[in-house]
Structure 1
C-alpha cells in the first residue's frame, strides 16, 4: 500500500522557503545558546509568554504598554481589558495543551475559545465552530468570510493534516495552521488570538522552540497590522508566491520574537530585569 501524500511537503520547496527556515532556525539557535538560558530559562519563558500575549492583544486592537499588562489584575472592565485578559489566558493555556494537539487539534481549538471567552461557556456559541448566519468579530482581518459548511470541512482537513504528521519544516506547518485559522475565522470571536496561539503550539511542539521563548506574536505586531493583512492575503490567494510570502512573514515574526527574548536575556544578565 502506498503512503498517503504529504500535502504540506511541497510548500517547503517553494522559492525562498528554505532560506526563511534556515534564517529562523539560526535565530532560534542563537537565543538557546545564550548563557542566561542555562540558568534562568524559566524566567525567560515567563517573560516571552507575557510579551507574546501582549503583542497578540495589540493585534486584536488592545495595544497596551507592557508594564500596564504586567501591573493590571482586573481584565473585565472594558472591551480592551477583556481582549488583553483573553490573550493572557489563551497564551498561558496553549502551553498546557501540547500533549493533546497532535491527537485532537479541534479539541484544543475549542478549549482555547472557551478560555478566551472567560471559561464560562455561558454563551451557546462558545467552544464550537460558528454556525450558518452567526457573525464574526475579527476587525483586523478583511478577507471574505467563508461559509460555515466550508469552515467545518476545512477544519476537518486541517485536523487530519496535523494528526498524519508531515515532513515539512515546523515553520511551514505553523504558518499553515495560523493562516488557515485566520482565513476561516471558525469562531464567533477571538480568532486572531487563537490562530496565533496555535502557531505557538506548533513551534513549541515540533521541538524547534521547546521552551516557548521565541514569541512570534511579537514579530507579527512589530511588522504591523497592514503587513500582517497583506501577508495573510497572500496565504488566502493560494498561489505559490502568496504562500511563500506568508511563510516568510511568519519566519520573520519568529526571528523578531527570538530577538525580543535575547533582549530579555541581556537585561537579566545586567541585573536589570
Structure 2
C-alpha cells in the first residue's frame, strides 16, 4: 500500500526531530498543574496561538490587548474565532476535511473576503510570507483532493509528519486567497490533536513558529522545491516549533503554579 507520509517520516534528520518533539510533549503532559487545570492551560495556549498566527499573517500585536478584547483588527479577530472553534471540529476533520477547511476559512476571513469559505477560482496575489505566486486554481484543486485523501486515509507516519504536510500544502497553495495562513496553522494544530500527539490541545505550536523567526518562511520555501531535502527541512522545522510550543506551555503551567 502506498504511504507517501511514511517515506517522508524516514527522511534524514526527521525521525530524530520527531522523537525530540514527542519527548517535549511527554514532559509537558507530566506537569503537575495539568492534573487540575488542564482546561485553563489549553485556553491560554489557544489565545497565545491565535495571536501568534495573526503575527505570522502580518498583524503582530501584543498579547495583553488581545486578551482584553481591545484589538479589532479582522485578521486577529479571525484567528481568535478559528482558535475558539477548533475543539468542535475534531471528529469532522478526520472524515470531512474539506468541510472543516471551509468552516475555518469562514471564521478566519470574515471581513476580509467577499466569499468566505469558498475556494478561489482565479489566481491570487496574497503572499504574506513572500513565497511567490500560488499555483493556479486547477492545480490547487488537484492537490487539495490529494491532501484530503491524506487526512482521511491511514499512514504509519507520526502525527507530526501529517500535520506538517497539511500545514505546508495549505500555506503554499493558498486555496482561498485570503487568511490561508491562519487556516493552515489551525489545520496543522487540529491534526496534532486528532492524531494523538497533543490530544488536549496544549501545545502553543504557532508561538513556536514565531519564535523560529525567518525560518518559518524559509522552510516553506524549501518545501516548495519539492525535493526530499526541502520537505525534510520543513518537517524538521515543524518539530522544532512543537518543542518551542511545549516550552511556551510549560511556562504557562509554571505561571499558574505560582
**TM-score normalised by the shorter chain: which range applies?**
over 0.9
2:190 maps to which of 201, 224, 227: 201
Q: Deviations over 1:171-226 (max 9, x none)?
A: 110000001111100012000000000000000001110111112100101111x2
Corresponding residue for residue 150 of structure 1: 139
* Deviations 1:13-52, CA, capped at 9 Å, x for gaps: 1111110111000100011000001111011000000000
**Residues 79-128 of structure 1: CA deviation (Å, up to 9, x unaligned):** xx11110110112212211010111111111111111123x8982x3211
Counterpart of 2:51 in 1: which secondary structure?
helix
- The answer to whether the Cα contact below 8 Å between 1:138 and 1:192 also exists between their aligned partners in 2 is no
Contact map agreement 1:89 1:115 (CA 8 A) in 2: yes
Structure 2 residue 18 is the aligned partner of structure 1 residue 25: no
Whether 2:148 is the aligned partner of 1:159: answer yes
CA contact (8 A) 1:200 1:216 kept: yes
Q: Is the 8 A contact 2:203 2:249 kept in 1?
A: yes
Q: Is the 8 A contact 1:121 1:127 kept in 2?
A: no
Query: Match of 1:78?
Result: none
SS of residue paired to 1:8: helix
1:262 alignment partner, one of 247, 250, 253: 250
SS in structure 2 opposite 1:214?
Answer: coil
C-alpha contact 2:192 2:198 (8 A) present in aligned 1: yes
Q: Aligned partners of 1:213 and 1:157: how far apart in 2?
A: 29
- For structure 2, which runs of at least 5 residues remain unmatched after alignment? none
Measure, in 2, the Cα distance between the counterparts of 1:168 and 1:69.
36
Q: Select 2:118's aligned residue among 111, 125, 128.
A: 128
- Map of 1:11 onto structure 2: 8
Distance verdict in 2 for CA 1:74–1:163, change over 3 Å: same
Say whether the 8 Å CA contact 2:113–2:178 is kept in structure 1. Answer: no
2:109 to 92, 117, 123: 117
The two structures, once aligned, show a CA RMSD in angstroms of: 1.5
The corresponding residue for 1:86 is 78
Report the equivalent of 1:41.
38
User: Structure 1 stretches of 5 or more lacking a match?
Assistant: 76-80
- 1:212 match: 201
Distance 1:232 1:96 in 2: 28
TM-score, with structure 1 as normaliser = 0.91
